Amino acid sequence: MGPVGVGIAGLGVVGSGTVNVLTRNADEITRRAGRDIRVVTAAVRDLERERDCDVSGIELTTDPMKVATSPDVEVVVELMGGEGVALEVVMAAIAAGKHVVTANKALIASHGNEIFKAAQDAGVTVAFEPAVAGGIPIIKAIREGLAGNRVEWLAGIINGTSNFILTAMADGEGTFDDVLAEAQRLGYAEADPTFDVEGVDAAHKLTILASIAFGIPLQFDKVYIEGISKLAGVDVDYASELGFTIKHLGIAARRDNGIELRVHPTLIPKRRLIANVDGVMNAVLVCGDAVGQTLHYGAGAGADATASAVVADIVDVVRALTTDPDNRVPHLAFQPGKLADLPILDVNESRTAYYIRIAAVNRPGVLAEVTRVFGDSNISIETILQKGSGKSEEVLPIILLTQRTIEKNIDQAIEKLESLDDIVGSVVRLRVEHLSE
């Protein structure tokens, strides 16, 4: 058989990296795939711009629809990002009978149900390994490697920008604003970092992971999202003193009454391996009933790391070109029509432990008032840390760690605490996950 023609829509950092990996490792890739793989066309914004890859032999166009419908292309690689034109290109490629590889997490999280239905009807594959955690093959690991397990929960550091910022804050390198500015200078954060630091990017990825882990439809709009921009350095320090590291986690957990989907800053015991994933690196911890916990670690972004996942998906698609569409690995791990209609729980029904910081007037009996509020709300306290150097201070911080409870109980307790005359300002609340169950 002749070579497989690939068309790339978007020849930026990842697109150029993909061309480079396909070129550099051509012989090895052919041995794995069974056929030569060649990029024959690519859509770019500017035909005159200098590229970070060799484009000789590649037909360049400014119209991504030409890539999607070219008769010389069997596999369309969508690397443009966004949800508008990218969705049009992917749907056009599917309608033309082309297989698709995409690194677009927002596209899959928001439109994946529609895309996969169209692909199933057309008998083509949409592969999306590079959409989550860059070069870490986490989609394949959960969808195929852990297929014999009932996944109970997963927790992931799945945004490198946020992890870089939290690592630097923990190392005492400055406030959130200071470290964010440094991340932007180094190119780890965008000029507008909102999607990263406010958790939207991680929520897109969590949506995808939860779907393949639990066999549920993609439901990005139901993920609880909380960012790190309001995280105070003092809480990073107190967490460390208590033996914890704060990470921005995406958590998906199976409960008796539904599925928890939440992204937020989280205290993790320092002894956990995932607590020691620093800088821009990513990691996903998955707990299955048979295998127990598995940790998947690696580069979550970057030209070569993401290109590694793109090329792996291209190879998988090429291997399956001649197979019966009904016998391919299902897009979302479970057979079409067999996705479970499990409810996504509201965050006030989630169950976890909590870190609470209270500013209290320095007088006898205040601590007793505080503990009474928690008792009345059916919350058990695990640790109390009262800070301060002496009687001269009028307001002292009280830090508590609770045992696991339902979030609405914590909300109730915080409301009562903030109504007390001896509590100053707002109560700070962060979630705690021991990741040991």
Q: What are phi and psi of 241, to 5 degrees?
A: -60, -30
Kindly give, in sequence order, each residue whose CB lies less than 8 Å from that of residue 242, ignoring residues fewer than 6 positions away.
267, 355, 383, 385, 399, 401
| Separation of alpha carbons 311 and 75, rounded Å | 11
Report pLDDT for 335.
82
> Cα 202 from chain centroid?
3
What pLDDT is recorded for position 436? 86
Tell me which CATH code domain 138-299 carries.
Answer: 3.30.360.10
271, exposed or middle or buried, with CB in 10 Å at 0-12, 13-18, 19+? exposed
Of 21, 65, 10, nearest to 314 by C-alpha is 21
- Mean pLDDT of all residues in 211-237: 97
Picking from 355, 296, 46, the residue whose alpha carbon sits closest to that of residue 155 is: 296
Mean pLDDT of 10-38: 96
Determine which one of 205, 338, 391, 408 is catalytic.
Answer: 205
Cβ atoms of 213 and 286 closer than 8 Å: yes
Instruction: Kindly list the domain boundaries of the chain, sorted by start residue.
Output: 4-132+303-327, 138-299, 351-432
> pTM score > 0.85 for this model?
yes
CB 21 within 8 A of CB 79: no
Per CATH, domain 351-432 is 1.50.10.20: no
Measured CA angle at 287 (ends 281, 288), to 5 deg? 135
Neighbours of 409 (CB within 10 A): 17
**Cα–Cα nearest to 211, from 201, 223, 200, 197:** 223
Label residue 167 by pLDDT band (50, 70, 90). Answer: very high
The pair of three-digit structure tokens given for residue 87, joined into one six-digit string: 């969705």
Task: Write out pLDDT tens, residues 227-282.
Answer: 999 999 999 999 999 999 999 999 999 999 999 999 999 999 999 999 999 999 99
Q: Dihedral of the CA atoms 138, 230, 164, 136 (nearest 10)?
A: 0
- For the question of residue 416 being annotated catalytic, the response is no
Q: CA 254, 256, 260, 265 torsion: positive or negative?
A: negative
Secondary structure in 3-state letters for 245-295: EEEEEEEEEEECCEEEEEEEEEEEECCCHHHHCCCCEEEEEEEECCCEEEE
Highest mean pLDDT among 266-270, 334-338, 421-425: 266-270
If one looks up domain 4-132+303-327 in CATH, what number appears? 3.40.50.720
Does residue 224 have a pLDDT over 70? yes
pLDDT of residue 209: 98
* Pair of tokens at residue 331: 């897009």
Write down the pLDDT at residue 301. Answer: 85
CB atoms within 10 A of CB 290: 8
361-407 pLDDT tens trace: 988 889 999 999 999 999 999 999 887 755 667 899 999 999 999 99
Question: What pLDDT is recorded for position 392?
Answer: 61
* Residue type at 362 in one-letter notation: N
Q: DSSP secondary-structure letter at 222?
A: G
